[in-house]
Amino acid sequence: MHITDILVTGEPIIYGAMVSMVLVGIALLFLLTYFKKWGWLWREWLTTVDHKKIGVMYILSALLMLFRGGVDAMMMRVQLAFPDLGFLNSQHYNEIFTTHGTIMIIFMAMPFLIGLMNIIVPLQIGARDFAFPYLNALSFWSFFFGMALFNISFVIGGAPDAGWTSYTPLSGAAMSPGPGQNFYLMGLQLSGIGTLATGINLMVTILKMRAPGMKLFHMPIFTWSTLVTSFIIVFAFPILTVALALLTLDRIFGSQFFTLTGEGMPMMWANLFWMWGHPEVYIVILPAFGIFSEVIATFAKKRLFGYNVMVWSMIVIALLSFLVWVHHFFTMGAGAFVNSIFSISTMLIAVPTGVKIFNWLATLYKSKIEFTVPMMWSLAFIPSFILGGVTGVMLGMAAADYQFHNSYFLIAHFHYVLIAGTVFACFAGLTFWYPKMFGHKMNERIGKWAFWLFFFGFHVCFFPQYFLGLDGMPRRLFITNVAEWLPLNVISTVGAFGMGLGFMVFVYNVYYSFRYSERETTGDSWNGNGRTLEWATTTPVPYYNFATVPYVDEIDPYLRMKEEGKTTYEESELKPIHMPSYTAQPILFMALLGLASFGLVFEWMYVAIFGLIGGVIMMIVRSFDYDDGYYVPVDEIKRTEKKARGL
């Protein structure tokens, strides 16, 4: 086989991307070698099992994916505002909206939130790591190689082009031949292993490893949201796994589950996809709700209003999220009865969601609001998300949805909930916990610039799209060929560039703050307003998190600790701490499965079998691995803590 057979050729944009990827790659290799950082990278990061470092790697990957997905979005917006330029043809546009959607949901939103959970959840419950640190590293690398696999598709083999929903029969072997769609299947399958494992890991960590005395209803609300989310993950992801596996069998091994021939059932895919897909949108919104709750309580300097109700509403939302999937295809003609049932269950989700909104507003009542950057992202979420929520309810009314479905009205709805919900939360959470992660804050002034640009850009971009939908503009249309649609599309594109600019300012702020921000001296970074245990440790957080774990029997335990002068370093209670050892197994294991997946994408069975056998060997190696970790001696704890606390 000749190299040009698998490389995508003939597209100037793709040549540009190839060249820039190669250049960035060479630059990275050069820098690592020049500064002799290879050993450091391997020892400190690639083989780590430390939840904080894994979290940082998740977030870095997610930011990279936000960039890639964002570039895709800009290209689409340019094409729609200037259809006469002929910037993208139909095929190219289809590939771009497919990778945009898939990347944003699977490789940006989820990993970003999972990264924050990784870093913060153990700290919030007073744990020293995850329940299964090895598995946590495994999860990260499965996500990472899944992401890498999906992302190389546009230079090698060709990108998938059947939408992030990948509906059959279009995405089947007959109508979408070639490796493109296989990249989608294998990329999601591989990273799905990690998501599922993370779900289990977080669930066990939260259920079994809380600080002494901490009951479930003492947990910080972000930890609660994580627990609920992990249950959704554990129940929803197996459905995706099965659906992907069946479609893979169809495409690669010639089975006929979703085909038009052999009495396949193409519609079954839509069902399976959304039985996972709707819970999935709650997987990315519940943690966001958790983040907003933490940030709002902290900068309102007031206890979260209705804590119990907040928890119960999340649980109700999680249950309902499994009972509404049909609203994604009301137009399939299941009949008035089925559509009515699912209309009502869908609208019911708005009740607990509305209750949460009122609780946030009530938290602000009689508070002292301080407008820090994380708080501004959180406050901006409330009015923006409302606009997405109410249109969601309108989409939930089946008879009305026949007009909204597949239109820009729908596009506007889910960007209003996903950006104003999830993305704002990622920015809020990252800036909020940034000092915990890196020992310095992000610059507030630049942060506000990024916020306002992104915020205005967002509304200017997506608000007009409601009206485009009402004017009958369908989604996934590569060309604005109806004159009346053009003006609003141009406005929308302007907004998109505002968001792009905001993102760039945000990234610049990372660099600027690294250079110039004051270094943190205490662990309680936000003017001593921390309420939960993550603020009780020192900054930077020692690798064992807590020298001594405090006794907790209330929510916001750190407030009382501060009053009583207690810390997480009580010299009299020091004991050696058991910690897991770093290991290279997870990255190797997942690299091998990555190779197997790559083989399957091109249907090179020898490569696939080789990778799979490697994976089995790694499992055997793991079973005979008697490394039980090591103990941190009391002396070392003392030394570390004294240095960090300036004692």
405 is a site residue for ligand HEM (CB under 6 A): yes
504 interacts with Cu ion by CB under 5 A: no
Query: Can you name the residues that pair with 73 across neighbouring β-strands?
Result: none
Q: Is 527 in the site for another protein (CB under 8 A)?
A: no
Nearest to 530 by CA among 597, 436, 601: 436
Q: Closest separation between CB of residue 337 and another protein, Å? A: 8
Q: What is the separation, in whole angstroms, between the first and last Cα of the chain?
A: 66
Instruction: Check binding of 339 to ligand HEM (CB under 6 A).
Output: no
Count of residues near ligand HEM by CB under 6 A: 25
Q: Does 285 bind ligand HEM (CB under 6 A)?
A: yes
**One symbol per residue from 445 to 474: x for binding another protein (CB under 8 A), - otherwise; what is it?**
-------x---x--xx--xx--x-xxxx-x
Q: Nearest 5°: phi and psi at 407? A: -115, 175
Of the pair 267, 386, the CB lying nearest Cu ion is at 267
Q: Is the peptide bond before 238 cis (omega within 30 degrees of 0)?
A: no
Q: List the one residue from 6, 45, 266, 508 that touches another protein (CB under 8 A).
A: 266
- Chain centre to alpha carbon of residue 241: 18
CB of 134 or CB of 416, closer to ligand HEM: 416
d(CA 200, CA 558): 28
Q: Give whichever of 112 and 144 is closer to ligand HEM, judged by the CB atom.
A: 112
Does the footprint of another protein cover residue 390 (CB under 8 A)?
yes
Looking at the Cβ atoms of 20 and 331, the one nearer to another protein is 331
H helices of 254-335, where?
A: 266-283, 286-300, 307-320
Taking contact as CB under 6 A, which single stretch among the options 293-301, 392-400, 455-463, 603-611 is the one that binds ligand HEM?
Answer: 392-400
Choice between 413 and 436, CB closer to another protein: 413
- The residue to which tokens 């095929």 are assigned: 91
| Rg (the chain; Cα; Å) | 25
The residue at minimum Cβ distance from ligand HEM is: 392
Per CB under 5 A, 405 contacts Cu ion: no
Contact track, another protein, 245-264, x by CB under 8 A: --------------xxxxx-
Q: Shortest approach of Cu ion to residue 184 CB, angstroms?
A: 20
User: Per rule CB under 8 A, is residue 309 in the interface with another protein?
Assistant: yes
DSSP assigned state of 178: S
Q: How many CB atoms lie within 10 A of CB 527?
A: 12
Cis peptide before 169 (omega within 30 of 0): yes
Q: Nearest distance from residue 427's CB to Cu ion, in Å?
A: 24
Report helix angle 336-364 to 373-396, nearest 10: 160
Q: Which of 136, 230, 391, 537 binds another protein (CB under 8 A)?
A: 391
Locate 170 and state its tokens. 């279009």
Residue 634 in the binding site for another protein (CB under 8 A)? no
Kindly report the length of the chain. Answer: 647
Contact 431, 373 (CB under 8 A): yes
Q: Which of 58, 93, 97, 414 binds ligand HEM (CB under 6 A)?
A: 414
418 belongs to the binding site for ligand HEM (CB under 6 A): yes
Q: Which one of 3-11, 297-305, 413-421, 605-613 is the stretch in contact with ligand HEM (CB under 6 A)?
A: 413-421
- Does 389 sit near ligand HEM (CB under 6 A)? yes
Least distance (Å) between residue 160 CB and another protein: 12
Tell me which long-range contacts 447-450 makes (C-beta under 8 A, separation of at least 24): 447/373, 447/506, 447/509, 448/373, 448/376, 449/502, 449/505, 450/502, 450/503, 450/505, 450/506, 450/509
Structure tokens at 496: 């998109």
Q: Does 272 bind ligand HEM (CB under 6 A)?
A: no
Which residue in 103, 23, 19, 97 sits closest to 66, CA to CA? Answer: 103
User: Does position 486 bind another protein by CB under 8 A?
Assistant: no
DSSP state, residue 578: E
Q: How far is the CB of 192 from another protein (least distance, A)?
A: 24
For another protein, the closer of residues 81 and 283 by Cβ is 81
How far, in Å, CA of 312 to CA of 292, rounded? 17
One-letter amino acid of 379: L
Instruction: Report the candidate in 570, 450, 576 with the shortest Cα–Cα distance to residue 513.
Output: 450
182 scored as a contact of another protein (CB under 8 A): no
Residues 596 and 608 sit within 8 Å (Cβ to Cβ): yes
Using CB under 6 A as the criterion, what x/- string covers residues 288-327 for binding ligand HEM?
Answer: ---------------------------------------x
Member of 362, 494, 504, 510 binding another protein (CB under 8 A): 362
* Count of residues interacting with another protein (CB under 8 A): 100
Stretch that binds ligand HEM, among 62-70, 368-376, 389-397, 586-594 (CB under 6 A): 389-397
Place of tokens 């072997």: 173
**Binding characters for Cu ion, 258-297, by CB under 5 A (x = yes):** ---------x----------x-------------------
For ligand HEM, the binding residues in 163-222 under the rule CB under 6 A are: 165
> Any contact of residue 408 with another protein (CB under 8 A)?
no
Q: Is 316 in the site for another protein (CB under 8 A)?
A: no
User: Which residue shows structure tokens 């995850």?
Assistant: 130
Q: Are 153 and 68 in contact (CB under 8 A)?
A: no
From candidates 57, 428, 450, 477, binder to another protein by CB under 8 A: 477
Residues 322-351 that bind another protein (CB under 8 A): 329, 331-333, 335-336, 339-340, 343-344, 347-348, 350-351
The owner of tokens 């909020």 is 432
Q: Which of these, 643, 635, 587, 572, lies nearest to 48 by C-alpha position?
A: 587
**E strand spans, 532-641:** 577-579, 630-632
Strand ranges in 487-590 using DSSP code E only, listed in sequence order: 577-579
Rule CB under 6 A: say whether 421 interacts with ligand HEM. Answer: yes
612 binds, among another protein, Cu ion, ligand HEM, none (CB under 5 to 8 A by kind): none
Tell me the C-alpha distance between 615 and 594, whole Å. 10
User: What does 302 interact with, of another protein, ligand HEM, Cu ion, none (CB < 5 to 8 A by kind)?
Assistant: another protein
b/e code 567-601 from CB counts within 10 Å (16+ = b): bbbeeeebeebebbebbebbbbbbbbbbbbbbbbb
User: What does 395 interact with, of ligand HEM, Cu ion, another protein, none (CB < 5 to 8 A by kind)?
Assistant: ligand HEM
Residue with tokens 């205490």: 522
| Positions that interact with Cu ion (CB under 5 A) | 267, 278
| Positions that interact with ligand HEM (CB under 6 A) | 165, 281, 284-285, 327-328, 346, 349-350, 353, 389, 392-393, 395-396, 401, 404-405, 410, 413-414, 417-418, 421-422
